[in-house]
Copies of this chain bind each other. A is one copy, B any other.
């Protein structure tokens, strides 16, 4: 499957409406199952190589509006990996201790170590999204932060970390349906947060903030992808494929051993 069309070209103006949240690649859900099974196996095997090699790491950043499927991606796509080589960080509203430091302090503490796949469920991008939409920071601060984010991600890249950033793109209609589903289904009530409706009223403000953030920070070292997410199975397929292609491109190798296996006798 080709995925280039979902990549945000570095340096180019970003308009979310250039993509289609309803895009299904012309596939049907039933077509996706065998592709998905193959992906699961390959992701697992390539992660083992990354872990065995112990020289590079992969950082996957998930950003999206509520109910767009961040948790679903962790469950379905990241769930294919061996948990032993995973590091997952969920960033919530910062604590007093975290706020007493620069905005990248708590983020830096959670980056994956060599050999690991790291996942950020929300990230430092919240500091130029929700904060900007609700006027908690001014434009000058936002621009400065975007510069710091670029430098920070370049530091990680220079230290052997590949970074993939996914914006899960759903339509307002699809979000409405998913939030309604959380209200209608008692077992899902706990996932509903009345505060989410406030963000929904600022739909266009978030669109503008996302566009500005992606425009400033989609680089070769840390590209953004706009992933159509109205169809959960297609969302997972696209993300799985991009992660797999990236792991193959990183091409981790089993380490060269410093002993001769044939000469060792186990008593």
Assess whether A82 is interfacial by the CB under 8 Å rule. Answer: yes
B83–A183 touching, CB < 8 Å: no
**A window 172-221: CB within 8 A of B:** 176, 179-180, 183-184, 186-187, 189-192, 194, 197, 200-201
A22 to chain B, nearest CB (A): 20
Chain B residues with CB below 8 A from A26, complex form = none
Assess whether A167 is interfacial by the CB under 8 Å rule. Answer: no
**A window 216-267: CB within 8 A of B:** 254-255, 257, 259, 261-262, 264, 266-267
Chain B residues with CB below 8 A from A52, complex form = 190-191
Chain B residues with CB below 8 A from A197, complex form = 264, 266-267
**A window 73-121: CB within 8 A of B:** 74-75, 78-79, 81-84, 86, 88, 90, 119, 121
A190–B81 touching, CB < 8 Å: no
Interface of A is mostly: helix
**A window 101-145: CB within 8 A of B:** 119, 121
A77 to chain B, nearest CB (A): 10
Q: Which residue from chain B places its CB closest to the CB of A90 in the assembled complex?
A: B84
Chain B residues with CB below 8 A from A201, complex form = 267
Q: Which residue from chain B places its CB closest to the CB of A197 in the assembled complex?
A: B266
B194–A254 touching, CB < 8 Å: no
Could you list some 19 contacts between A and B, CB below 8 A? A52-B191, A71-B84, A74-B82, A74-B83, A75-B84, A79-B79, A81-B83, A83-B83, A83-B119, A84-B90, A176-B266, A179-B266, A180-B266, A183-B262, A190-B255, A192-B259, A197-B264, A197-B266, A200-B267
Chain A residues with a Cβ under 8 A of chain B: 52, 71, 74-75, 78-79, 81-84, 86, 88, 90, 119, 121, 176, 179-180, 183-184, 186-187, 189-192, 194, 197, 200-201, 254-255, 257, 259, 261-262, 264, 266-267
Q: A176-B266, A183-B261, A190-B254 are in contact. List 9 more A-B contacts (CB 8 A).
A: A74-B82, A78-B83, A79-B79, A81-B83, A184-B261, A190-B257, A192-B257, A197-B264, A200-B266
